[in-house]
Amino acid sequence: MDLEELLQREIQVGTYESTGSFTLSLVEARRKLQNFQLSSLEQAVLKLVQGVVRLEPLAIWMESNQRGFVISWADPTARVDPAQFVGEFEKVLLGGDCVEKDFAIGLMGFLDKEPAQVWWAEWSGDTPVSTVNLFGGLAQAELRAPPGTHAKTFALVIQTGKQKLPLDRQVIATRTLFCPILLLWNGRLMCELSWNPPGHTSSHGPYWADFYFRQPGPLARGIALKPIGPSLRLMTSAGGLEGSGFSLSTDDYSVHRRYVLGDQGRGLTLKGRRPQLSGLSALISPGNAVGFPVELHTSLGESIWIVDGAQKGRALLLCIKHGVMLDPCTLPKQLGGTVAVMATPDLEVDLSQFAPILNSPSWQELGQRVKRQAAQVVGHLGQEPTSALKELGGNWPWSWAGVGLVAGLVGAGLLPIPSLAGFLLGGAGGLWAAKHNADNKFQSRLRALKQAVGSEPD
């Protein structure tokens, strides 16, 4: 709706004691909206990333320094007309959700930095096709040509005057962890090729299981399926997921068993160099001072589910809209210890741009999708009779051995039989007790999950 319609609706609600008339400058409205919508310059970059992802290019790369920022994209499946976009800037900004609105909101975030020039450029190979100064001016464009490896390349270039552009790369990298399009910043990958769920540490121990739901279709409607690390067992064929992060491991694995579900997804390749390290970190790992080359072959997906063996911690829902993570939400507490990452391209957000509107129609639809997938995840976990020892691949954990040793020493000292026999009998009893306790916890966790999704009576 336009601004006048919005204001008309607002004055129809409530009571008032007097009436009057006023005018509102759109320039002032833009300034106020910008201050209310985006809390940082990093969020402005994220809105530009969302707009570019919706154009579905083959690659996105960004460059920045203290006086400028550039976002470029190659061979998109759709394009934006810059003249029409700027000519209807206010209408786009106050209108419905679309690619142009993402660009408009992103540019709004840069306006308080008083940019000297804002260019929209296009190249065919490395030959310039057009450059448009979006906000007027007669300055000559001095833009760096793209590599020339793509048929068409586009760029949005922001150049400031006196003010600097302080951008925190890590803030943006954290939000774009599951972007389904290759994303680089100053020549380096924006994110690692695997991830850790919030709050997870190496001392936490492996997860019970993880699930990767593949899907074909448009890039902007999915996420890059990124692993939490190697798995002990792979439960289904991992076609298209042959990257090292999805490999099996008998030693340092992050999850006991891994499921890859859904039809063959659209293949993705994330290839580049790791972010550069500096200072002491570079001395410890000199190769990372320039960035190690890395590569992950994965798939476009709908969601990732991580299920812990214990029902502890929050049940988190991480929504990814057009390659950017929104503010974390919570799943029902009965699913405690579960983290779900879901592509939510249609999810409505509030004026902050990164918080879902709770109880909106799109939120209700997402809730139903979460319930269906949670039931599917729990159904797979309970398909085959299993035990704690089987989950560990037949390997007895050191904790069980410790219990057996203590029980053996107690048996050797207290049982009215020879010490060796007492040690063996006590050790066997301790191991049995440890295994029985682990099995009970395992089955209790499974029952709790089944009750959470309504597949087992309370």
pLDDT tens, position by position, 291-306: 778 888 899 999 999 9
Q: In angstroms, rounded to a whole number, what is the distance separating the alpha carbons of residues 204 and 140?
A: 57
Contact 176, 323 (CB under 8 A): yes
Residue-wise burial string across 396-421, b where 16 or more C-beta atoms lie within 10 A, e elsewhere: eeeebeebbeebbbbbbeeeeeeeee
**Residue percentage of the chain with pLDDT more than 70:** 78
What residues form DSSP beta bridges with 152?
124
Question: Within a 10 A sphere around the Cβ of 297, how many other Cβ atoms?
Answer: 16
Statement: residue 22 has pLDDT above 60: no
Amino acid in the structure at residue 17: E
- 63 Rama class: left (phi>0) / alpha (psi -120 to 50) / beta: beta
Q: Residue 193 — φ and ψ, nearest 5°?
A: -90, -5
**Closest by Cα among 351, 353, 366, 294 to 322:** 353
Q: Please give the model's pTM, rounded to 2 decimal places.
A: 0.83
Maximal CA-CA distance, the chain: 100
Q: In angstroms, rounded to a whole number, what is the distance separating the alpha carbons of residues 4 and 74?
A: 38
Q: Report residue 444's pLDDT band, with 50, 70 and 90 as the boundaries.
A: confident
What residues form DSSP beta bridges with 132?
120
Statement: residue 33 has pLDDT above 90: no
What's the token pair of residue 386? 């299993």
Residues 6+ apart with CB under 8 A from 284: none
| CA dihedral of residues 319, 321, 325, 328 (deg, nearest 10) | -30
> Distances from the Cα of 146 to the Cαs of 139, 149, 150, 211, in angstroms?
21, 8, 9, 38
Strand order in the sheet with 182-185: 127-133, 115-124, 152-160, 68-74, 59-65, 182-185, 188-189
Summarize pLDDT for 357-415 with one digit per residue, the tens.
998 999 999 999 999 999 999 988 887 666 666 666 666 666 767 767 776 677 677 77
Summarize pLDDT for 145-160 with one digit per residue, the tens.
888 789 999 999 988 8
Statement: residue 24 has pLDDT above 70: no
Average pLDDT, the chain: 80
Summarize pLDDT for 445-458 with one digit per residue, the tens.
788 888 888 766 54
Q: In angstroms, rounded to a whole number, what is the distance separating the alpha carbons of residues 401 and 396?
A: 7
